[in-house]
């Protein structure tokens, strides 16, 4: 998924897919700073439709890989807390 996204950065990315990529990069020890930079370019688009569960996946990936910027980390922290009561509900 990361390789496809690196070749096609012009494609719009949904928050759930950003969360999946960042989380799985961390889970499988894949260091892809280019992918994280591209995802962070879309933060303003994510602001109104980022669920806490997805933001937590992004935050986990950001911390574990150390490939995210301080701006990205602050954004994902804010999004996790914004709807924290819904974090345990599966949202698809």
Contact 46, 15 (CB under 8 A): yes
Q: What is the pLDDT of residue 3?
A: 79
Total domain count for the chain? Answer: 1
Range of the domain at 30: 19-86
pLDDT at 19: 94
In a domain, 9, yes or no: no
Query: Rounded to two decimals, what is the model's pTM?
Result: 0.86
* 82 falls within a domain: yes
Q: Does residue 77 fall inside a structural domain?
A: yes
Nearest to 67 by CA among 56, 58, 79: 58
6 within domain boundaries = no
Residue 58: which of 25, 87, 81, 12 has the closest Cα?
Answer: 25
Residue 8 lies in a domain: no
**Any domain includes 67:** yes
Q: Give me the pLDDT at residue 92, please.
A: 55
Residue 48 in domain: yes
* pLDDT tens for the 92 residues of the chain, in order: 777 777 887 788 899 999 999 999 999 999 989 889 989 988 998 988 898 999 999 999 999 999 999 999 999 999 999 878 877 766 55
Long-range contacts of 2-11 (CB under 8 A, 24+ apart): 2/30, 2/32, 2/35, 5/35, 5/38, 6/32, 6/34, 6/35, 6/38, 9/38
Domain for residue 5, yes or no? no
């Amino acid at each position: 998924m990361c390789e496809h996204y690196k070749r096609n950065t012009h494609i719009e990315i949904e928050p759930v897919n950003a969360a999946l990529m960042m989380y799985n990069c961390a889970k499988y020890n894949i260091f892809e700073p280019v992918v994280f930079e591209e995802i962070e370019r879309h933060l303003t688009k994510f602001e109104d439709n980022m669920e806490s569960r997805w933001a937590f996946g992004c935050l986990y990936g950001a911390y574990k890989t150390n490939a995210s910027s301080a701006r990205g980390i602050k954004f994902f922290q804010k999004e996790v807390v914004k709807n924290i009561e819904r974090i345990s509900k599966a949202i698809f």
